[in-house]
């Protein structure tokens, strides 16, 4: 498929929740703007809006899931495993935006077993004293499998998952190879990742907390909590992090403007500069709204909106 030149549009935006946030913010101020919203990946279903978790037909659902996995070892729907020794569960998305393949692990599966008002996911908040975020999940709405050989009625068992915040270190990074290419023809990447002493202490504290919570709500099916392989959350953050200055430790400023690059804003989980311990989409969308408003101020500084602080390098007008 060929696309018109990008110069035919006022704004070119990537898909997903953060791209949609940019589009909404721009359209509210400029309803006649011409915007190209890009999303890419395999076409899995004939009906827009369906994805592998809510296709009613089991055979159709299985076909869509296989199509969503792309080349290489299959990970969770919409991803393929990277085969990283340091981050064994690390996976790469096979499409941009995600709706066609895998929107959320908490999406109820179709089939037998009605979802009652008390089902779904209950959250246990992160605190300084307990540096992890907990989720108590009805098992047929959970991405974490039951213990081997366990058979239950839908909704009769809950799973408890405690998610720790990762200690931030410049040694945890993605490195691109200038000479080798991956299966898609892009520069091959290597992931550098390790647990710090603080990470290990938080993991041990979370093990104890989830065991106590499990004993409080019912009869545990497992002898003890188990640690999922590194990268299992798929909530990777900070690879194009924002920062206060163009000093080599960040990609963009606090309004998501890429340093010294004309007309380019970046959005997504990748811009989050701090450690989090829960699903990051809401944070990413909030930062996208902030970035979109800075974009509007940049394109039309006379619009009356409170302008963000000026940057050291003056940006030329973006398309």
At 252-264, the pLDDT tens digits run: 999 999 999 988 9
The CB density around residue 99, as the number of other CB atoms within 10 Å, is 19
Q: How confident is the model at residue 314 (pLDDT cuts 50, 70, 90)?
A: very low
Beta-strand relationship, 121-124 and 11-14: unpaired
pTM for this prediction: 0.77
Catalytic annotation, residues = 235
Percent of the chain with pLDDT over 90: 30
What the block records as the tokens of 203 is 């993991």
For 162-215, the pLDDT digits (tens) are 999 999 999 999 999 999 998 778 898 899 999 999 999 999 999 999 999 988
Every domain of the chain and the residues it spans: 106-169+197-224
Taken as a whole, the chain contains a residue count of 319
CA angle 305, 311, 317 (to 5 degrees): 65
Burial 275-299 (b: 16+ CB within 10 A, else e): ebbbbbbebbbebbbbbbbbbbbbb
Mean local confidence (pLDDT), 244-252: 95
Helix then strand count (H, E) for the chain reads: 4, 9
Tokens encoding 105: 């692990």
Burial class of residue 102 (count of CB atoms within 10 Å of its CB; 0-12, 13-18, 19+): buried
Candidate from 17-21, 113-117, 230-234 with smallest mean pLDDT:
113-117
Mean predicted confidence (pLDDT) in 125-140: 85
Whether the Cβ atoms of residue 73 and residue 83 lie closer than 8 Å to each other: yes
């Amino acid at each position: 498929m060929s696309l018109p030149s990008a110069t035919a549009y006022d704004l070119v935006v990537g898909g997903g929740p953060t791209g949609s946030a940019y589009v909404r913010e721009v359209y509210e101020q400029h309803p006649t703007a011409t915007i190209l919203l890009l999303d890419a990946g395999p076409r899995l279903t004939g009906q827009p809006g369906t994805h592998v978790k809510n296709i009613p037909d089991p055979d159709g659902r299985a076909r869509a899931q296989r199509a969503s996995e792309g080349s290489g070892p299959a990970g969770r729907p919409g991803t393929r495993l990277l085969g990283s020794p340091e981050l064994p569960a690390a996976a790469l998305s096979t499409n941009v935006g995600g709706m066609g393949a895998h929107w959320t692990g908490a999406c109820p599966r179709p089939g037998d077993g009605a979802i009652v008002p008390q089902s779904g996911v209950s959250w246990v908040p992160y605190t300084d004293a307990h540096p992890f975020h907990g989720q108590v999940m009805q098992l047929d709405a959970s991405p974490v499998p039951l213990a081997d050989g366990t058979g239950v009625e839908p909704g009769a068992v809950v799973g408890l998952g405690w998610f720790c915040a990762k200690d931030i270190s410049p040694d945890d990074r993605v490195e691109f190879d200038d000479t080798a290419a991956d299966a898609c023809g892009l520069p091959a990447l290597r992931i550098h990742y390790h647990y710090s002493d603080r990470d290990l202490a938080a993991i041990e504290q979370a093990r104890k907390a989830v065991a106590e919570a499990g004993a409080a709500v019912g009869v545990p099916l497992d002898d003890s909590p188990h640690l999922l392989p590194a990268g299992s959350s798929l909530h990777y953050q900070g690879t194009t992090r924002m920062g206060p200055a163009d000093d080599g430790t960040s990609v963009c400023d606090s309004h998501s403007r890429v340093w010294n690059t004309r007309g380019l804003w970046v959005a997504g989980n990748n811009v989050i500069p701090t450690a989090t311990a829960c699903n990051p989409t809401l944070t990413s969308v909030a930062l996208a709204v902030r970035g979109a408003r800075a974009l509007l101020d940049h394109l039309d500084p006379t619009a009356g909106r409170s302008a963000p602080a000026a940057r050291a390098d003056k940006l030329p007008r973006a398309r």
